Amino acid sequence: MPRAAGNSRLKSARLAAGYPTQQAFAEALGVDVRQVRRWESQKPPWPHPDMQQRLTDLTGQDVKALGFTPPTGRDHPHGQRRLQPLPLRSWGSHRPVVPSQSPVPMQPASVAVDFESITRSHRRMYWSLAPAALHAGIVAHAELGCSLLTETAGRTRRTVAAALAETWLLAGRIEFFDLDLKEPEEAGATLLRALQAAGEADDALLGAAILAHAAFIPGWAGNREASAERMVAARTYARRGPASAEFLAWLDAVEAECETRCGNARTALHLINHAEDTLKAGSEHPTPAWMDWFSPVRLAAFKGNTQLKAGHLPQARTTLLSVLEKLPASEDKQRTVVYGDLAAVEAAAGQPEEACRYACLALDQLETTWYATGMDRVREVRRALAAHQHEQCVRDLDDRLYGWTTTVSALAR
């Protein structure tokens, strides 16, 4: 005799929501696996009202659509509607999404895996592709993710939301650090979208990373109060993670850079020292795969810049030269920044020829891999060399620095 198909509607919805086994679904619902087996049988019993709500929350479909038939003479109100996804905003327009009166088809769990894989690819491409070209692809990918949030549920939806949060975070990083014509307000709005998506995924560490990046915006503008407030929030989210030693050290490094730009180099150096101690102590918690922007050598780069701003020129020179030796070959963007900081060290030390040499090395690197933050470093060095502007080395630097493209960009800033 052929085996009865059972409640295929519930099974299909369970799989689409990202629960491949009855046991996983039972654990998410907080029931015994035998209860799930009964619900997926040929004649599933009508769920208790609180279970109806949980089933709907996890699958995005009402109990009737899940194959349940209310007892004769009863039609529980929970079975008369389809629960809409959590309130979202249309990220591009900031208009609330209008709930549809007709059921939205649920996508299979595989779409979350596919969407996440593209997010990982963008993460890797960030280190080599032109920022403007990559940014356009990332924003398009994020718009797709927003649509998928309305067509997924349960574990599948959380996976999509986490990948979407990472996607918006990467877009915000490009807007703030990479694009020549920076728009801090635009980056702030993008990071807000990232934080909303992280909330949908209930991913505290992603939330902490987004908040720390958001602290850069007021920090670079010299607004210490706003920057400090965002760092407090970032550390609060990190405690819920829990966070790895590397993640906590990066939070110290972010706060140190913000303090440096707000004129508090002494406080920044204390934070860098704390970060070094944190890395030495280590942690049992792993660092998320998406956190590919930090390492011990990058912490040293933070330290060298802070020593420079504190006026500790010999120490800054030693630190930054050590960073150059240890930087992996793939760290082109960071190398540009280090060259710029070394140029600033030499400019402050009254060595214009060495300053120009390092600045030109930064420009050489920028021709290969563009990084607006690196160009900012070179421009700062040129301003510091104003007293030497009639020397040949500075004129040679000007010839490199003020081509047609760079001149137009400078005037537009």
The percent of residues in the chain predicted with pLDDT above 90, rounded, is 69
- Looking at the predicted structure, is the pLDDT value of residue 71 above 70? yes
Q: Is 73 exposed, middle or buried (0-12, 13-18, 19+ CB in 10 A)?
A: exposed
103 preceded by a cis bond (ω within 30 of 0): no
Which residues are 89's β-sheet partners? 96
- Looking at the predicted structure, is the pLDDT value of residue 82 above 50? no
Closest to 271 (Cα-Cα) out of 232, 306, 239, 316: 306
Residue 390: CB atoms within 10 A of its CB come to: 7
Could you tell me the two tokens for 325? Answer: 């030796």
**Three-class DSSP category at 405:** helix
pLDDT mean over 141-156: 94
Q: What is the pLDDT of residues 314-373, one digit of tens each?
A: 999 999 999 999 999 889 999 999 999 999 999 999 999 999 999 999 999 998 888 999
Q: What does pTM read for this prediction?
A: 0.79
Angle at 10 between CA 1 and CA 23, to 5 degrees: 90
Q: What is the pLDDT of residues 208-244, one digit of tens each?
A: 999 999 999 999 999 999 999 999 999 999 999 889 9
Rounded to a whole number of angstroms, the CA Rg of the chain reads: 27
Q: What is the pLDDT of residues 250-279, one digit of tens each?
A: 999 999 999 999 999 999 999 999 999 999
Q: Report which of residues 402 and 214 the model is more confident about.
A: 214
143 CB-near residues (< 8 Å, 6+ apart): 91, 92
* Residue 167: pLDDT band with limits 50, 70, 90: very high
**Angle, helices 352-368/392-401, rounded to nearest 10 degrees:** 20
Domains of the chain: 8-71 (1.10.260), 206-289 (no CATH), 312-413 (no CATH)
Cβ atoms of 129 and 103 within 8 Å: the answer is no
Q: What is the pLDDT of residues 86-112, one digit of tens each?
A: 334 333 333 333 334 445 678 999 999
Q: How far is the C-alpha of 277 from the C-alpha of 267, rounded, in Å? A: 16
Q: How far is the C-alpha of 54 from the C-alpha of 403, rounded, in Å? A: 62
**Three-class DSSP category at 373:** helix
Q: State the pLDDT at residue 103.
A: 58
Cβ atoms of 81 and 101 within 8 Å: the answer is no
Q: How far is the C-alpha of 402 from the C-alpha of 391, rounded, in Å? A: 16
Residue 369: CB atoms within 10 A of its CB come to: 19
Q: Mark residue 54 as left, alpha or beta (left: phi above 0; alpha: psi -120 to 50; beta: remaining).
A: alpha
Q: Mark residue 60 as left, alpha or beta (left: phi above 0; alpha: psi -120 to 50; beta: remaining).
A: left
**What is each CA distance from 112 to 31, 66, 139, in whole angstroms?**
25, 21, 17
**What is each CA distance from 53 to 14, 47, 103, 363, in whole angstroms?**
15, 9, 17, 60
